[in-house]
Amino acid sequence: MARAAETRRRTRSQEEKESRILASALDVFARNGFAGTTLDEIAAGAGMSKPNLIYYFASKEEIYRAVLGRTLETWLEPLIALDPAGEPLAEIRAYIHRKLEMSRDRPQESRLFAGEILAGAPLIRDALEGDLKALVDQKVAVIRQWIASGRLAPHDPYHLIFALWATTQHYADFDTQVRAVLGGETDEATRYAGAERFMEEVILRGLRPDQ
């Protein structure tokens, strides 16, 4: 029991350190990209020294890989939650909502991911061609079913998914530009409410089957 407690306690401490490192790393990587990030900056953000960082993660790339892996999981969740048994338009509406929520609440993850893809996805190409593609293919099949049953207008599901990804993530990844264009007046809540409204009124309307 003492042993178990000890082990648990040590693990706890380790986990807490690692998570502090990953949080700091996410912040810095998202802002400066992989190349623009220094170990010292991550270390400072995590409140420890550079060698101590390396004690927990073997290299800068390993830290990056860990942050990215975590992000990828989070990133897939909203699409996973798309329910084949649900009502098509309501499901897509809910998906838009979840994605916008994610852009609003976790913009760093979105930007980290965007940076990795922009750079040609050197570290997650396999995941994209494997897990991601498999997931998308599966959901594309669901959407095709919806179309076949006449509950959704017939459009290419791949491009539908791309359009939803692009538009929702735009508000996180291009936040700087969105704010510049809207001017100082518009606050975050208004921005996201406007985005959601637009997507519901235009894209969802475009997806409604003729009747």
Partner DNA sequence: AGTGACCTTGACCAATTGGTCAAAAACTAG
Partner DNA sequence: CTAGTTTTTGACCAATTGGTCAAGGTCACT
Q: Applying CB under 7 A, which residues contact DNA?
A: 2-3, 5-6, 9-10, 13-14, 17, 37-40, 48-52, 54-56, 58-61
Contacts of 161 by beta carbon, 8 Å cutoff, 6+ apart:
79, 136, 139, 140
Question: How many Cα atoms occupy the beta-carbon half-sphere of 183 within 13 Å?
Answer: 1
- One symbol per residue from 79 to 118: x for binding a second copy (CB under 8 A), - otherwise; what is it? --------------------------------x--xx-xx
Among 82, 136, 143, 147, binds a second copy (CB under 8 A): 136
Contact 42, 53 (CB under 8 A): yes
Query: Which letter does DSSP use for residue 153 in this model?
Result: -
Contact 92, 207 (CB under 8 A): yes
Tell me if 171 contacts a second copy by CB under 8 A: yes
Pick between residue 23 and residue 135 the one whose CB is nearest to a second copy.
135
Write the DSSP string, 64-117. HHHHHHHHHHHHHHHHHT--TTS-HHHHHHHHHHHHHHHHHH-HHHHHHHHHHH
- Nearest distance in Å: CB 14, a second copy: 31
State CA 185 to chain mean position distance: 27
Stretch that binds a second copy, among 19-27, 44-52, 83-91, 181-189 (CB under 8 A): 181-189
Pick between residue 14 and residue 141 the one whose CB is nearest to a second copy.
141
Tell me if 163 contacts a second copy by CB under 8 A: yes
Stretch that binds a second copy, among 2-10, 14-22, 60-68, 154-162 (CB under 8 A): 154-162
Pick between residue 17 and residue 170 the one whose CB is nearest to a second copy.
170
